Structure 1
Amino acid sequence: MKSYDVAIIGSGPGGYVAAIRCSQLGMKTAIIEKYATLGGTCLNVGCIPSKALLASSHHYEEATKHFEDHGIEIPGEIRVNLEKMIGRKQSVVDQTTGGIDFLMKKNNIDVFEGLGSFKDATHIKIEGKDAQEIEAKNIIIATGSKPGNLPFIILDKERVITSTEALKLKEIPKHMIVIGGGVIGLELGQVYKRLGAEVTVIEYMDRILPTMDAGLSKELNKVFKKAKFKMMMSHKVQAVERKGDEVIVKAENKKGEIVEFKGDYCLVSVGRKPNTAGLNADAAGVKISDRGQVEVNEHLQTNVKNIYAIGDVVRGAMLAHKAEEEGVFVAETLAGQKPHINYNLIPGVVYTWPEVAAVGKTEEELKEAGVEYKAGQFPFRALGRARAGGDLDGFVKILADKKTDEVLGIHMIGARCADLIAEAVVAMEYRASAEDISRMSHAHPTYAEAMKEAALAATEDRALHV
């Protein structure tokens, strides 16, 4: 029987990063993955493939709607080759997952293909291609999450689908009904809207992106409506029925009326749930909560002292970069170091266009906590770079403590915000004041100037370019 210092069940961003860091710190490490490719949901059916399709569909939209404004004329009809687009997406996935294979070899990490389950607290049974039993002093659970569903919806994975199936459709829907106005539904809804589908978004709450700052939700909703999405807020889905190639969704609006929607595809994107199926956690004595999460303490340690859990399978935001930070945290804890994670400073990003990004507290959270704050906001359309590129939608908003001027939250929507949010994280990690940001030189012309201007607006209400 092979023995290891650390064995990790699951090879998503949390699992494979934990494995690399454990190996770097001198531990003999194994990783167990039930699928044939490493990388988990993120690399195979999540972050990476969805961004590939978002990029391809964005190019198509630019060519059909905006190239002419730039003096670029394309003779003949511009058409979508969906098969080729999906094929490119898969090649991006293959290259990325292949990169993880390389990293495992480079770091001398043993990879086992099969379903890993606990025999007891120090032994893992592997069922599948590499069927065997291994022993480990420490074990990290990194089994991630899977798409959630409503109890009355039957997912046939043909017409009533999850994000996994939406990434490999063989045709462009005529009318895609999206249940859920969160990140996944909006991103994939935008992909198919760009390619020519009619898209209806049905959201139970009174706004899309309900966990983000309300200003961001309002602005993105405005952009989507302008693009002719049908946005149905405050609608509670009651039934989903398939009849041949038609899907019928019934929902109750805030007046109590039942409204019916008909389409040829229905994407169910109502969040994700922790994936502990097949783990046999009871055999190791590991506690699972009523919500299906592995229970952990502040050190990400379960109730069994040598077993840890990270990523989507534990509490907190279900984000790949949060899982990565936790993977490093556990590895360094096992090595006797004292790492830390500031969960308040893990950014959230929505990769629609315009992109949406945020870090820290929202206005709603500050009001609820009774914190006195000031807000500074600057519109992208006032930036020279935004006008030059034609991406005018959006703004940057900075929230700062009214007395100390320390930045408490930064919320943005616009071009390149997925990258721009890193400046906000750095500033807040070093406990910058709004004035600190306002006095830093930002290159001109850039989208980043909106940060400086919003900081000026928050400091003394003296933004220079509005």
Structure 2
Amino acid sequence: MQSEFDVVVIGAGPAGVVAALRAADLGARTALVARERFGGMAANDGPVPVRTLAHAARLVREARQLSRYGISAGEPVVDYPRLLERVREVVDHVGRQSALRGQCESAGVSILENTGAARFVAPHTIETASGLRLDGESIVLCTGGASRRLSVPGAELTATHSDAWALTSVPPSMLVIGAGATGVQVASIFHAFGTRVQLFQAGPRILPTEDEDVSAEVTTAFRDAGMIVRTDFGAIEAFEKTAHGVRMIVSKDGDRATAEAALAVVAVGWVANTAELDLAVAGVATDERGHVRVDEHLRTTAPHVLAAGDVTGHLMVVPQALEEGYVAGTNAVRGAVLPLTKHVSPIGSFTDPEYAQVGLGEARARAELDALVTVIRLDCGTRAIIDGRASGFCKLIVDRTTSRIVGCHVVGDRAVDIVQLAAIAISAGMTVDDLARLPFSFPTYAGILGRAALTAARTLRRDFAWRLPELQ
């Protein structure tokens, strides 16, 4: 096999696949090195399997609503081994049908899977655990990240989100430590499956990177559903094994407390997968958080080495990884010609309730501009009432000076889909008047966004030459 390439991409997740495809499209002899399977964490341990489990959780919740609509059925029971079979079916199907894989192959990318860990043995040379030795004029690091482990006694007794997906049965109880995006998703899914969940967050609120109203709404919904949510709980001293699982010991202001469950899942952030790369051999530096340091062109401190995706510590979501992969692949071939630009990046999670956001949050918007904030509850929307999913809200943030939409935050059913529409409006530079005039189909969840826009536009005293139907 040819071992000399113009570009060698390490990591076959979204960033790596796009980087390799872009480099090959530009005429470079390109190798894509995958530690395990093509697709990386997104396809095999991230959004694809997680979303499959979240869909199962949604089906359970919908089944519990059947009697409200005159449909007789028993209490849903989760056959977890069969569900995991479905997860594997979906992952395999996505892998086989990946359009990007076919495009990479047709572009001439050498796809090298299941190579094991790769490391630098010279500035332009990598070697894999399977014995491959590849030289690259340029090398692109797309090795992603992994769950951060706690450094307290007994931490080995805890699991990560990856372990949670691989369980053989639904645990009767679970501690989830860390209430960011990953933690709340684990908590929400297993709560729907019947697990007694206790969710712990060291800070004052769950989902700390979301708008404060989003955090408060999701917290209330979780507690109303019977989940225990504990914030500001103090510091974890240790974990201990019990007869039926694990015990967590915490302390705060001199007082100690414990919490027990069959399983403890830690979701306290991510670390870059760089430990095995021997970056110093290539002259690649990391920042204070351990992520690979890059400039606006995604070049590392070694100009011939670039990095993209989670390993950079930027916004760690698939769309951002795809964009970074394109930029890194371009610059690996052409030099520093394409800077990474800021795009509108909608983010959301398929919890119960769903939450999603795009653009500025309320606090930042009020600090930076003359902001108008409009909040419409989902129980004002006909479709949400029809579906029996009427809790939550849509918050629209508008710059009073320009009337342009600058942010949108939604909690409730189809929140992720609603925010995609708001993202398009922001990207297009639409004013709130423009959005309010769109004739959204009725009854749809999107209509709540139209109602928020209309309310904001009226607040700004715009002159409408039309009026909405009475039913919106």
Give 1:310 deviation, angstroms.
0.6
For residues 412 and 78 of structure 1, do their structure 2 counterparts lie closer, same or farther at Cα, with a shift above 3 Å needed?
A: closer
For residues 195 and 404 of structure 1, do their structure 2 counterparts lie closer, same or farther at Cα, with a shift above 3 Å needed?
A: same
Give 1:49 deviation, angstroms.
0.8
2:348 matched residue in structure 1: 349
Q: Encode CA deviations 1:199-246: one digit per residue, 9 max, x unaligned.
A: 000111111101010111111111111110001111124222222432
Give 1:24 deviation, angstroms.
2.5
In 2, Cα distance between equivalents of 1:421 and 1:24:
33
For residues 440 and 256 of structure 1, do their structure 2 counterparts lie closer, same or farther at Cα, with a shift above 3 Å needed?
A: farther
In 1, Cα distance between equivalents of 2:363 and 2:457:
20
For 1:6, the aligned partner's letter is V
In 2, Cα distance between equivalents of 1:90 and 1:329:
32
1:33 aligns with 2:31: no
2:245 matched residue in structure 1: 246
1:385 aligns with 2:389: no
1:14 aligns with 2:15: yes
For 1:18, the aligned partner's letter is A
Among 223, 232, 235, which residue is 2:233 paired with?
Answer: 235
Among 220, 223, 236, which residue is 1:222 paired with?
Answer: 220
Q: Encode CA deviations 1:78-124: one digit per residue, 9 max, x unaligned.
A: 42211101111111112223344545433321122322211223222
Give 1:155 deviation, angstroms.
4.3
Give the paired residue count: 457
1:457 matched residue in structure 2: 455
In 2, Cα distance between equivalents of 1:153 and 1:209:
27
Give 1:321 deviation, angstroms.
1.7
2:105 matched residue in structure 1: 105
In 2, Cα distance between equivalents of 1:176 and 1:67:
28
In 1, Cα distance between equivalents of 2:52 and 2:158:
23
In 2, Cα distance between equivalents of 1:451 and 1:61:
25
Q: Encode CA deviations 1:237-266: one digit per residue, 9 max, x unaligned.
A: 42222224321112345x663332111111
In 2, Cα distance between equivalents of 1:151 and 1:96:
36
- Which 4+ runs in 1 deviate beyond 6 A? 462-466
1:144 matched residue in structure 2: 144
For 1:108, the aligned partner's letter is G
2:464 matched residue in structure 1: none
1:58 aligns with 2:61: no
Secondary structure of the 2:6 match is strand
Q: TM-score scaled to structure 1, two decimals?
A: 0.92
Are the aligned partners of 2:179 and 2:207 in contact in 1 as well (CA < 8 Å)? yes
For 1:72, the aligned partner's letter is I
Secondary structure of the 2:65 match is helix
In 2, Cα distance between equivalents of 1:343 and 1:311:
14
In 2, Cα distance between equivalents of 1:340 and 1:283:
26
In 2, Cα distance between equivalents of 1:43 and 1:353:
22
Are the aligned partners of 1:145 and 1:313 in contact in 2 as well (CA < 8 Å)? yes
For 1:126, the aligned partner's letter is T
In 2, Cα distance between equivalents of 1:362 and 1:135:
46
Are the aligned partners of 2:139 and 2:332 in contact in 1 as well (CA < 8 Å)? no
For residues 169 and 47 of structure 1, do their structure 2 counterparts lie closer, same or farther at Cα, with a shift above 3 Å needed?
A: same
Secondary structure of the 2:58 match is helix
Are the aligned partners of 2:211 and 2:362 in contact in 1 as well (CA < 8 Å)? yes
For 2:180, the aligned partner's letter is G
1:404 matched residue in structure 2: 402
Q: Encode CA deviations 1:50-99: one digit per residue, 9 max, x unaligned.
A: 11111112212221x2011122212x564221110111111111222334
1:420 matched residue in structure 2: 418
1:134 matched residue in structure 2: 134
Are the aligned partners of 1:344 and 1:361 in contact in 2 as well (CA < 8 Å)? no
For 2:247, the aligned partner's letter is I
For 2:192, the aligned partner's letter is R
Give 1:149 deviation, angstroms.
2.0
Among 252, 257, 261, which residue is 2:255 paired with?
Answer: 257
1:124 matched residue in structure 2: 126
For residues 428 and 232 of structure 1, do their structure 2 counterparts lie closer, same or farther at Cα, with a shift above 3 Å needed?
A: same
Q: Encode CA deviations 1:113-164: one digit per residue, 9 max, x unaligned.
A: 3222112232222221xx22112121110000000122115444xx621001
Are the aligned partners of 2:177 and 2:268 in contact in 1 as well (CA < 8 Å)? yes
Are the aligned partners of 2:298 and 2:340 in contact in 1 as well (CA < 8 Å)? no
Gaps of 5+ in 1: none
For 1:116, the aligned partner's letter is A
Secondary structure of the 1:20 match is helix
In 2, Cα distance between equivalents of 1:357 and 1:343:
19
